[in-house]
Amino acid sequence: MTIAETRSTTTDKAPGHPLNAWYAAAWDHEVTGKGLFSRTVADRPLVLYRTDEGRPVALADACWHRLAPLSMGKRVGSDEVQCPYHGLRYNSAGRCTFMPAQKTINPSAMVPSFPVVERHRFVWVWLGDPTLADPDTVPDMRQMDPPHWAGDGGTIDVGANYMLVLDNLMDLTHEEFVHAGSIGQAELSESDFEVSHDERTVTVTRWMLGIDPPPFWLKNMRDRFPGFEGKVDRWQIIRFETPSTICIDVGVAKAGTGAPEGDRSQGVNGYVMNTITPETSRSAHYFWAFMRNYRLDSQLITTQLREGVRRVFAEDEEMLIAQQAAIDANPAHEFYSLNIDAGGMWVRRLIERMLEAERAAAGAGAGVR
């Protein structure tokens, strides 16, 4: 069976979200030592804050006593949060340290506390088995870190399942149609691509040689090479890493100057950084940034690129929300896959393998008991 002949059942449209994985819960600047920050990750409401030492903390956003949201409370002490309803206090481990009108604290008075890692300008949280929370498995987004890259981004709260966002990013031929006025061009659909994968990653590589640069990339070439005219070699190298991070190596270089062989000196190179955190089965937090390795000191270029990419992603958001609405209205419809969906299909297979492993572990644990 060829890729073009395959189809997905209704349940494959939203296969679920693994819990034994790192998800970006917030930008680092959103989590402060003064206030409390709330965000739902994989159907779990969380409250995030920093201790006086600056360490980020993630607790379940529900008081042990009457389930009042802790995020409506306040920070107290060096590492504690106080419930807004009756004043119970919890430390960074989730253990209750104070109860009103009594000296004895019920030993069961706890709220779940989750492993947290701060890396690549994000606060990452692990909602699954804490013994498996290896910081070395935080997705590789090194281009977010200075000093060799500069850029900025934002967050889109998308009213669609996170898998639809992953599908969108793994197949960039949609740019020809959704983003015709900025980064789209016919060569995207006409060019060949290669797909490779291992146990944690999927990579889609596409080169377009000797083409006219679309408006977005022509502007970027002229930012670095004023007055540039002529053909370019364009590349898109999309790398997915479980469970939901996609970093896209993109750029153009003057045609015939060696970019496919590794010499990008006559071009401009950027990374579209994306990590998508499921909120519910029909919503996701889409963290994105555009990073570049040229004109690093120009805040003007950083701002222009951020706003340009923001406009492009707004077009994606509109399509994804419409797609989710159509899925909800047609629950019996099956997804069909074309050759261009090969990368996205491998993404879904890796996620399903993670879910199967978690189900097997849960079943084994139930058997032991």
Give the torsion through C-alpha atoms of 325, 328, 332, 337, to 10 deg.
Answer: 40
pLDDT the model gives residue 364 = 75
Q: Do residues 104 and 52 touch, judged by C-beta distance below 8 A?
A: no
pLDDT mean over 282-308: 93
End-to-end alpha-carbon separation of the chain, Å?
43
pLDDT mean over 249-275: 96
pLDDT the model gives residue 183 = 63
**Residue 205: its H or E element:** strand 201-211
Q: What is the pLDDT of residues 109-167, one digit of tens each?
A: 999 999 999 999 999 999 999 999 999 999 999 999 989 999 999 999 999 999 999 99
Q: Which residues pair with 275 in a beta bridge?
A: 245, 287
pLDDT the model gives residue 362 = 85
Taken in order of first residue, the domains within the chain and their CATH numbers are 22-127 (2.102.10.10), 143-356 (3.90.380.10)
Cβ neighbors of 226 (< 8 A, separation 6 or more) are none
Q: Do residues 186 and 228 touch, judged by C-beta distance below 8 A?
A: no
User: What confidence category does residue 312 fall into, taking pLDDT thresholds of 50, 70 and 90?
Assistant: confident
The percentage of residues in the chain with a pLDDT greater than 90, rounded to a whole number, is 75
C-alpha 64/C-alpha 46 separation (Å) is 14
The encoded tokens of residue 263 equal 């010499």
Give this prediction's pTM: 0.90
Q: What is the pLDDT of residues 171-227, one digit of tens each?
A: 877 666 566 565 655 666 667 889 999 999 999 999 999 999 988 899 999 999 999
Q: What is the pLDDT of residues 80-90, one digit of tens each?
A: 999 999 999 99
C-alpha 314/C-alpha 12 separation (Å) is 26
User: Any idea what DSSP says for residue 212?
Assistant: P
pLDDT the model gives residue 2 = 41
E strands, 28-127, are 37-41, 44-50, 56-60, 74-76, 80-82, 89-90, 96-98, 113-114, 116-119, 122-126
DSSP characters for 281-346? TTEEEEEEEEEESSSTT-HHHHHHHHHHHHHHHHHHHHHHHHHHHHHHH-TTPPEE--GGGHHHHH
User: What confidence category does residue 11 fall into, taking pLDDT thresholds of 50, 70 and 90?
Assistant: very low
C-alpha 7/C-alpha 110 separation (Å) is 46
User: Any idea what DSSP says for residue 95?
Assistant: B
C-alpha 14/C-alpha 121 separation (Å) is 28
pLDDT the model gives residue 8 = 46
Q: What is the pLDDT of residues 43-102, one digit of tens each?
A: 999 999 999 999 999 999 999 999 999 999 999 999 999 999 999 999 999 999 999 999
pLDDT the model gives residue 309 = 87
Q: Which residue has the higher pLDDT, 305 or 121?
A: 121
Mean residue pLDDT of the chain comes to 90
Residue 85 burial (C-beta neighbours within 10 Å; 0-12, 13-18, 19+): middle
Kindly tell me if the per-residue pLDDT of 9 is higher than 60.
no
